[in-house]
């Protein structure tokens, strides 16, 4: 029954994507925890953490696709929302360290003791409670996106100008978070985490659970995003992407539609960041680097804009290649990334998703006119 009502909104490709995600989300942690290390079925600990990281990147790419692929908002600052979600989670885990830090101060995180601070800044209060941290994971990126989008969309900043100010936004945050007196650990960021909800972040069980949660978050956000883009709302944002003034003269408040989808997307990016931080064990200002946001856009383009699952796939494939190449051929990685961006733009305008759609003759948007590609630029 539920499958039946979901099928049309997910599409065949979306259904396959979710099925694969479910299998991976269950099989990888199970194999890691319950098979012996010398079994050929065993997934080693480092691979679980790496895979969990890819899933978070996939969710970030999905959030970029939601605004760029469907609404034509090319955000080059989505890394900022990802990082804010990550910092909110990081602050919670810093508070969990308690007296186990290097300085043994139960009240203050190490970096504050080091800076000779005597009291906890007001904005750190509440982060010792997990539900409060979860609330902040949603609110911090959501409110930033709301305020930023409110001004940008109302002033009708579009196209490349919008991309530039999103870039400026994440760069401004990068500089701000670098400062020690901001109270977020400055250059070093937040690290040396001990546990999350009482479970050691180093333990295999915690790692496996985080992997599973990352897969679950990706799946849920995918379903929500699909439901949005298949509703009339989704058709309207596609209309905004292709013919913004037409939509406005039909009587739709374009700025409200953009704002709504931008905030939803930012929250998804924040959730991705929050799941990312406990798995990599650190959050520092470099997550705000403009190049991170641009990479997320490349994953999305490589995977295929306007499909959601394509963007997620693109993020996973590129990051897997990156992990391999930075180990095997450290000097070649950036050339490969640059080369990919060029190849995708010229030969694969619809990305991996378009390639698969053509190859398996899925009834997707292959009938789309070529002018669409230009209109979406």
Q: How far is the CB of 137 from another protein (least distance, A)?
A: 23
Q: How far is the CB of 140 from another protein (least distance, A)?
A: 22
Give the tokens for residue 98. 């308690």
Pick between residue 251 and residue 327 the one whose CB is nearest to another protein: 251
Pick between residue 191 and residue 230 the one whose CB is nearest to another protein: 230
Helix (H) or strand (E) holding 66: helix 45-71
DSSP 201: T
Bridge partner residues of 200 (DSSP):
195
Alpha helices in 243-332 (DSSP H): 244-249, 254-280, 290-303, 309-328
Q: How far is the CB of 373 from another protein (least distance, A)?
A: 10
Q: How far is the CB of 72 from another protein (least distance, A)?
A: 11
Residue in 126, 303, 307 with CA at minimum distance from that of residue 225: 307
Pick between residue 254 and residue 297 the one whose CB is nearest to another protein: 254
Q: How far is the CB of 264 from another protein (least distance, A)?
A: 11
DSSP 196: E
Pick between residue 122 and residue 249 the one whose CB is nearest to another protein: 249
Q: Which residue has the tokens 């999350």?
A: 196
Residue in 207, 202, 213, 194 with CA at minimum distance from that of residue 93: 194
C-alpha to C-alpha distances, 314 to 283, 284, 330, nearest whole angstrom: 24, 25, 21
Pick between residue 37 and residue 371 the one whose CB is nearest to another protein: 371
Pick between residue 178 and residue 260 the one whose CB is nearest to another protein: 260
Give the tokens for residue 104. 């043994």
The answer to whether the Cα torsion of 26, 327, 192, 79 is positive or negative is negative
Positions that interact with another protein (CB under 8 A): 228, 231-233, 235-236, 238-239, 242-243, 245-254, 256-257, 260, 365, 367-369, 371-372, 375
Q: How far is the CB of 226 from another protein (least distance, A)?
A: 13
């Amino acid at each position: 029954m539920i499958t039946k009502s979901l099928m049309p909104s997910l599409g065949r490709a979306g259904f396959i994507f979710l099925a694969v995600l479910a299998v991976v989300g269950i099989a990888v942690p199970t194999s890691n925890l319950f098979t012996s290390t010398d079994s050929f079925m065993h997934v080693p600990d480092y691979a679980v953490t790496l895979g969990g990281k890819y899933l978070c990147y996939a969710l970030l790419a999905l959030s970029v696709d939601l605004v760029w692929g469907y609404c034509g908002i090319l955000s080059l600052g989505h890394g900022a929302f990802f990082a804010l979600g990550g910092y909110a989670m990081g602050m919670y885990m810093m508070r969990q360290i308690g007296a186990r830090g290097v300085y043994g101060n139960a009240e203050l995180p190490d970096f504050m003791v080091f800076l000779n601070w005597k009291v906890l800044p007001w904005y750190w209060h509440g982060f010792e409670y997990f539900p409060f941290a979860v609330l902040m994971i949603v609110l911090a990126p959501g409110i930033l996106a709301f305020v930023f989008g409110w001004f940008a969309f109302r002033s009708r900043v579009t196209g490349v100008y919008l991309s530039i100010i999103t870039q400026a936004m994440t760069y401004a945050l990068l500089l701000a978070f670098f400062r020690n007196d901001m109270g977020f650990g400055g250059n070093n960021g937040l690290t040396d985490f001990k546990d999350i909800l009482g479970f050691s972040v180093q333990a295999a069980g915690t790692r496996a659970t985080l992997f599973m949660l990352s897969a679950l978050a990706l799946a849920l956000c995918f379903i929500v995003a699909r439901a949005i883009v298949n509703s009339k709302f989704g058709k309207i944002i596609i209309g905004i992407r292709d013919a913004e003034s037409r939509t406005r003269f039909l009587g739709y408040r374009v700025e409200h539609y953009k704002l709504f989808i931008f905030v939803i997307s930012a929250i998804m990016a924040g959730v991705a960041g929050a799941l990312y931080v406990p798995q990599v064990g650190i959050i520092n200002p470099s997550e705000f680097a403009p190049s991170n946001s641009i990479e997320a856009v490349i994953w999305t383009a490589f995977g295929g804009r306007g499909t959601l699952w394509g963007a997620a796939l693109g993020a996973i494939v590129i990051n897997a290649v990156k992990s391999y190449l930075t180990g095997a051929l450290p000097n070649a990685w950036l050339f490969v990334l640059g080369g990919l961006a060029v190849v995708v733009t010229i030969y694969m305008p619809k990305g991996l998703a378009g390639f698969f759609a053509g190859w398996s003759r899925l009834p997707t948007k292959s009938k789309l006119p070529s002018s669409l590609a230009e209109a979406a630029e």
